[in-house]
Amino acid sequence: MAVSAKEVLSGDIQAAARLMRDLDDEIPSAHRTLKTLYRHTGRASILGITGAPGAGKSTLVDCLTEHLRREGKSVGIVAIDPTSPFSGGAILGDRIRMQKHTLDDGVFIKSLATRGHLGGLSKSTIDIVNVMDAMGKDVVIIETVGVGQDEVEIVKVAHTNLVLVVPGMGDDIQALKAGILEIADIFVVNKSDREGADRTKLELETMVGMNTYREGEWEPPVMATVAQTGAGVPELLSEVEKHWTFISREENLLRYRRERARVELLEILKKKLIDKAVDDLSRNKVLDHLLRDIANKTRDPYSIAEQVVNHRFDFPLGAEPGKGKGIRRGRA
Amino acid sequence: MAVSAKEVLSGDIQAAARLMRDLDDEIPSAHRTLKTLYRHTGRASILGITGAPGAGKSTLVDCLTEHLRREGKSVGIVAIDPTSPFSGGAILGDRIRMQKHTLDDGVFIKSLATRGHLGGLSKSTIDIVNVMDAMGKDVVIIETVGVGQDEVEIVKVAHTNLVLVVPGMGDDIQALKAGILEIADIFVVNKSDREGADRTKLELETMVGMNTYREGEWEPPVMATVAQTGAGVPELLSEVEKHWTFISREENLLRYRRERARVELLEILKKKLIDKAVDDLSRNKVLDHLLRDIANKTRDPYSIAEQVVNHRFDFPLGAEPGKGKGIRRGRA
């Protein structure tokens, strides 16, 4: 049975979970519901948490969630877990959290472990964040390893991005500047009871200090936490709240909303474009023939891609696609 | 001046480097050259090396390169270094390698540090691999952290994929099965002089053992190395050669070539489709208007994406795109 927008807007967890599953299964009615829900998004505060495997993301998310719950805020968590030899942590971490928060209606956790898809991870994340936002979650947390293009792009839908660093990892902080400064609103040296924590904190502060910030620009603070014990977490949350106040200023909010719109539109578009192209090419086994030609080096993938994009396409294979739709026969 | 296919095919390093730069700058003549070169690809053996930051990828690549050079083989190396707080290693590692191999004409190293692009990383990697292949490199090595969808997808153009694991990381190997088995042809426990190496090796072997392989299927061996000292590297290379022999069997080679063609075509297509759509939408500031509407919640990105994909598009903003090209006014 199709999930209605009304059910989700009322905060019905079962309905929201069903909608997410239907979206995964690409059920058309789910997409229609999502369109309706979109109008009701934009109320949640979105928090991105990025860190290498082993940086303690799950534990920190857990800790932050507990604090937010105590303040009476409802929380949605999206854990991005791209298939990889190195991303097992999120899955295990999730199970543990599930047990902990399973009886708490105020917490909604969704793990995304997409693989073999074409850019589907970003779109799925956007969908889930929007459902959680529309269902009235006060805070939505996106947790990601942040390595990989899609993952770096996706955290741009967050209001505030925390970048987790662990002591000792900082050996080559010099080399990391470009990427790290682009996404971090707040740096967090987690596991700060470990040796080298002070040095890592200092290096990050130096890095931030070397950047020139204009009047009215946000300068990322460097915070120290031990997520395992909860040390430093209240101070971190107070910095997060400062950033939320900062971003709520009219000029900042407009810029943020526009950037979120840009990431949303382009990521959704990217996925839909390639899906449509594969659909079109799969008709009458055109794709099969093309792959054979590429493998035999009688055609090159660059020229074929250009032809597809420009809707000029010859079918030397005698295969003619469905009339009027999709890739048309070229006239060039 | 445009780089000719002939120059690259003759193995001219300067020409190849210039072509790669021109491809980065999206110079049309470079794309034409690449199309011509494509016919001459498929001769190099492509080796993928995937491992988390700190797993010792660069050191191992270095070690393998030295061995291959001693056998008289020329080597191309593509180091994928997605912008991320955690990918600094490749940059530093590269500088060190550059110094070492800089006077050796038989080694060509290219670092890819793309960011902010839309799926451009995969396409760039494919381009570089094809240029190195066409210029006659015997072996092309793709080095990547392998976290993130694009990165997992891209190693599928390799004949043989090594997955690096370090001792101690193996705590949750149970959780990793799905992703790890999909891409690994050979597991490498690097830094195997460290505590826990035997256990990690055993866990990996158990994991492989639990999978059922059909007659004629490749079962990934688990090798142990200390890339720093070179221990275990000759044994690893001999396994790599075994896998190359395996994949050279007619039925395997056909399947591999088809899979490479698929990844190449779809990744190139993905990039070209989104670029074209952004170009089309940017005309007359249509994109700006759309982003404003999305930010204001008067439109939703899902419906807009659908309209773009189906080439039905209203311009309620009075903005009309260039005639005959791009997104057309809808008739629905």
Closest CA to A91 of B306, B159, B171: B171
Chain B residues near residue A148 by CB distance under 8 angstroms: 82, 84, 145, 147-151
Q: Residue-wise over B220-244: b if at least 16 C-beta within 10 A, else e?
A: bbbbbbbbeebebbeebbebbeebe
Answer with the residue of higher pLDDT: B64 or B181: B64
Report the topology of domain A40-264.
Rossmann fold (3.40.50)
User: How far apart are alpha carbons A31 and B75 in whole angstroms?
Assistant: 48
Interface probe, candidates A32, A34, A86, chain B, greatest B C-beta count within 10 A? A86
- On whether the B42-250 domain is CATH 3.30.160.110, my answer is no
Domain limits, chain B: 42-250, 251-332
Amino acid identity, position A175: A
pLDDT at B321: 43
User: How far apart are alpha carbons A276 and A269 in whole angstroms?
Assistant: 10
The beta-strand segments (E) located in chain B are 45-50, 75-80, 107-112, 139-144, 160-165, 186-189, 222-224
User: How far apart are alpha carbons A142 and A46 in whole angstroms?
Assistant: 7
pLDDT at A151: 62
pLDDT at B324: 38
Smallest Cα distance from A117 to chain B, Å: 8
Mean pLDDT over residues A263-286, rounded? 91
Mean pLDDT over residues B54-80, rounded? 90
Smallest Cα distance from B247 to chain A, Å: 15
pLDDT over 70 (residue B226): yes
- The model's pTM: 0.81
Cα atoms in the Cβ-side hemisphere of radius 13 Å centred on A229: 10
Average pLDDT, chain B: 82
pLDDT at B260: 94
Min mean pLDDT across A56-65, A121-130, B35-44, B320-329 is at: B320-329
pLDDT at B103: 59
What is the tens place of the pLDDT at every residue in A181-193?
678 899 999 999 9
Whether A141 and A75 have beta carbons less than 8 Å apart is answered as yes
Interface probe, candidates A33, A57, A83, chain B, greatest B C-beta count within 10 A? A83
Residue B328: burial class (beta carbons within 10 Å; 0-12, 13-18, 19+): middle
Q: Cβ of A85 and B148 within 8 Å?
A: no
Which ipTM value was assigned to this complex?
0.84
Mean pLDDT over residues B69-75, rounded? 94
Closest CA to B131 of B28, B19, B262, B49: B19
Answer with the residue of higher pLDDT: A174 or B72: B72
Instruction: Determine what percent of chain A is predicted with pLDDT higher than 90.
Output: 53
Nearest Cβ partner for A261 among B119, B258, B294: B294
Whether B43 and A302 have beta carbons less than 8 Å apart is answered as no
Query: At B164, phi and psi to the nearest 5?
Result: -90, 135
pLDDT at A208: 87
What is the tens place of the pLDDT at every residue in B23-48?
988 899 999 999 999 999 999 999 99
HEC per residue, A52-68: CCCCCHHHHHHHHHHHH
Other beta carbons within 10 angstroms of residue A1's beta carbon come to: 6
pLDDT at B119: 53
What is the tens place of the pLDDT at every residue in B271-298?
899 999 999 899 888 999 999 999 999 9
In angstroms, what CA-CA distances link A330 with A277, A322, B14, B85? 16, 15, 38, 46
Mean pLDDT over residues A134-141, rounded? 96
Model confidence at B91, in pLDDT bands (50, 70, 90)? very low
Mean pLDDT over residues A144-162, rounded? 76
Chain A residues near residue B174 by CB distance under 8 angstroms: 88
Instruction: Determine what percent of chain B is predicted with pLDDT higher than 70.
Output: 77
Amino acid identity, position A236: L
Among chain B residues, CA nearest to A302: B35
Model confidence at A296, in pLDDT bands (50, 70, 90)? very high
Whether B184 and B173 have beta carbons less than 8 Å apart is answered as no
Smallest Cα distance from A200 to chain B, Å: 13
Min mean pLDDT across A262-276, B131-145, B313-327 is at: B313-327
Chain B residues near residue A166 by CB distance under 8 angstroms: none
Whether B116 and A178 have beta carbons less than 8 Å apart is answered as no
User: What strand order describes the sheet that includes A160-165?
Assistant: A107-112, A75-80, A139-144, A45-50, A160-165, A186-189, A222-224
Model confidence at A105, in pLDDT bands (50, 70, 90)? confident
Among chain B residues, CA nearest to A289: B258
Interface probe, candidates A19, A149, A307, chain B, greatest B C-beta count within 10 A? A149
The three-state secondary structure class of A78 is strand
User: How far apart are alpha carbons A242 and A263 in whole angstroms?
Assistant: 24
pLDDT at B173: 53
Among chain B residues, CA nearest to A166: B86
